Amino acid sequence: MTANHPETIPGLKLSSMRFPVRWGEMDALGHVNNAEYLRYFEESRTLWGESLGLHLDGRGEGMILLKANITYKKQVSYPANIEVTLFAGKIGRTSFHLVNTLTLEGDRTPAAIGEFVIVWFDYCANNPVVIPMSLRGALEGSGVAN
């Protein structure tokens, strides 16, 4: 991925949220701190999961983050309005990929792209388990998705 080439985002659009950048999210260099992007993307995944009725309390079965990768394309500074969009990626037997874009209002090119590997996990057995058909359906677009 380079700044001169548009990104190809894989998969189905699952959800989108818009909100303003908060003053306290900036760092000493005057732009949004890198760690904040992880928070933005986590909130996107969490709200999407809750919209499907998934339990996010660490009991029974649920999502657990295996890998996170963020590519920072542009600086984001206060004041700004941003949109965080969540897309489905590759779906395996016990894991799936989610892709987030963070875009500044009025801009079509993402300021950041987050790529995440999520494992469907049995917290009691402490092991990965097969993704439920309802979740697989939401990720493939054949089930309920926000």
CATH 3.10.129.10 fits 13-140, yes or no: yes
Q: Break the chain into its structural domains and give their ranges.
A: 13-140
The whole-number average pLDDT for the span 40-51 is 96
Question: Cα–Cα distance between 135 and 138 in angstroms, integer?
Answer: 5
Instruction: Compare 76 and 146 and report the one with higher pLDDT.
Output: 76
Q: Sign of dihedral through CA atoms 72, 91, 83, 9? A: positive
Q: Judge if pTM exceeds 0.85.
A: yes
Residue 2 has pLDDT above 60, yes or no: no
Question: What's the confidence (pLDDT) of residue 56?
Answer: 85
Query: What is the DSSP annotation of 21-90?
Result: PPGGGB-TTSSB-HHHHHHHHHHHHHHHHHHTT---SSSSEEEEEEEEEEEE-S---SS-EEEEEEEEEE
Tens digits of per-residue pLDDT, 61-95?
Answer: 999 999 999 999 999 999 999 999 999 999 999 99
